[in-house]
Chain A
């Protein structure tokens, strides 16, 4: 009651989490490796490409100490292919990047926040979890590192609209039995849709609550009125043994 924020994360919080993603930079100045709490950062030796967390990459870019290499899925070619897929497939969203094969020696599997899904080696044909935030931030800070930044911006906007309208249409399909497949929805999209989708589900739950209660009462009554219940079966089996 005291917390003024709605449940879930606000857009700046989602963007903050996104800054942990690794991106590839081309350094212009030397920088020795940094020992940080989150782990060791590799030394920068121009002109060798190095993976860095987004927050540091943005900082170096603003200081003109490095250039950022946009991930391959953020190219006009890939984006228009994904956009076409999204418009053609009315149901479902474009698939997420494939996970790497399981490491054979230990059972620890890496999942999205710890996978390099936005470096220069990332898959070109799939949107990672933080696609919208990362795309917007890179376009803002490093527009000159893109080949065709205006086109990329336009395609991102188009993708966002197509996917949000799918999310909104999905509430019409919500029911006790089913819902919409939300695989591949990104972090910022979840943050944006959470309040609305949650509200709809809450409202529907309230409307059918009385029906659920009646159904439960009826079942309970049937059980008490001599219909064979599971408890009886258990007793029979016990006797046979």
Chain B
């Protein structure tokens, strides 16, 4: 998907997803803090997305691990997003929430999650635009919302804020002439 040098794509790759080992692997026990032992069959471990994806998908025969949807995309979160997207603290769930969501959706086909993510991104974007144009909003009552933005949304806020600021700067420069 992203470019090789895309820092956000790299950081998304390093987010943890829960995995269940299907086979006993000798010497891998350190992954769950068991320094010398083996990884038992059926044990659940949080692995980075890149490793989990590789182990779960790349082997053609029986896969080594099975991926489970991460807690950030659990039904509880989806219900909260459906109820009111503006009240959910996405950053606490995952710093790259939408990127993680799209990566997971490439693996699991979940029409409903796509729909929920789509809707919440849109309605949160409208609030972000309002905050970006209202210099007091980001500090006052909007502070909680702003703290809960994921990385994509932060970039969106910065873009909206910078362009509004550029127009304001142009108008004040005009007066100086």
Contacts and interface: CB of A to CB of B under 8 A. Distances in A.
Nearest to A14: B170
A204 B122 contact: yes
Interface stretch (A25-33, A47-55, A185-193): A185-193
Nearest to B162: A195
A193 B163 CA distance: 7
A203 B163 contact: no
B129 A209 contact: no
B166 interface: yes
Given A168-B133, A174-B122, A195-B160, A210 B155 contact: no
Given A191-B166, A210-B114, 13 more contacts: A12-B173, A15-B170, A141-B177, A168-B126, A172-B123, A172-B125, A192-B163, A192-B167, A196-B163, A200-B122, A203-B125, A204-B122, A207-B117
Nearest to A209: B102
Contact of A214 (B109, B159, B175): B109
B167 A211 contact: no
Contacts of B122: 171-172, 174, 200, 204
Nearest to A171: B125
Contacts of B11: none
A196 B159 contact: yes
Interface in B145-173: 152, 155-156, 159-160, 162-164, 166-167, 169-171, 173
Interface of A: 6, 10-12, 15, 136-137, 140-141, 164, 168-169, 171-172, 174, 188, 191-196, 198-200, 203-204, 206-211, 213-214
Given A172-B126, A214-B109, A195 B114 contact: no
Contacts of B141: none
Interface string B98-123: 11011001100101001001100111
A15 B175 CA distance: 14
A207 B101 contact: yes
7 smallest CB-CB distances across A and B, nearest first, come from A11-B170, A195-B159, A196-B160, A168-B129, A210-B105, A199-B156, A210-B106
B67 interface: no
B163 A194 contact: yes
A72 B102 CA distance: 52
A234 B127 CA distance: 51
Contacts of B164: 192
17 contacts: A12-B170, A15-B170, A136-B171, A136-B174, A168-B126, A171-B125, A171-B129, A191-B166, A191-B167, A193-B163, A195-B162, A199-B155, A199-B156, A199-B159, A211-B105, A213-B106, A214-B109
Contacts of B121: 200, 203-204, 207
Between B105, B109, B117, B125, the greatest number of chain A beta carbons within 10 A of the residue's beta carbon is seen for B125
Contacts of B106: 210, 213
B163 A195 contact: yes
Contacts of A204: 118, 121-122
B88 interface: no
Between A12, A15, A198, A207, the greatest number of chain B beta carbons within 10 A of the residue's beta carbon is seen for A207
